[in-house]
Amino acid sequence: MTDNKRVSNKQILDEIKALQTQGVEVEFDPMTDTELNALAIKIVSRMVKLKSMEDWFDHASKSNIAWTTAYDDLELSIEEDALGEAAKLMTLMNLFQDEEEYEKCAIIKGRMREINKILKKGK
């Protein structure tokens, strides 16, 4: 009975009786159907609460406020923040160059000059 197959209540009781006939002392007080149903209701209720809490957390963690709060909790230095901005701008620059949107590239180039000044001050 140690494999992971489903086991019926009758099989469990038969196993207990077999152990008792071998002289093994087994204390067993079977649950009534009412007690078993009450236990099942408690288990299902807790599982539903956990699932709803998981759904709520999943929803809440994806909100703008959660993202902003998590980002603010990083406590990035000015240099780290500037590096992140530079990476973003370089990605956009590549995208706009591929799409031949040179006006946008010029705007990004100006912003990159500002970021480079911040990074040079940090060194």
> Domain segments of the chain: what residues?
1-50, 76-122
Q: Could you tell me the pLDDT band of residue 51, with boundaries at 50, 70 and 90? A: confident
For 51-92, give the DSSP string.
HHHHHHHHHHHTSHHHHHHHHHTT---HHHHHHHHHHHHHHH
CA-to-CA separations, 21 to 14, 79, 107, in angstroms, rounded? 11, 77, 88
Average pLDDT, the chain: 85
% of residues, the chain, pLDDT over 70: 93
pLDDT at 123: 66
pLDDT, tens digit, 9 for 90 and up, residues 70-88 = 767 778 888 888 999 999 9
Q: What is the CA 47 to chain-centroid distance, rounded?
A: 17
Q: Could you tell me the pLDDT band of residue 4, with boundaries at 50, 70 and 90? A: low
Distance CA 101, CA 92 (A): 11
CA atoms within 13 A on the CB side of 96: 15
Residues with Cβ within 8 Å of 115's Cβ and at least 6 positions away in sequence, in order, are: 82, 85, 86, 89
Which of the residue ranges 38-42, 54-58, 104-108 would you say has the lowest mean pLDDT?
54-58
Does the pTM of the predicted model rise above 0.75? no
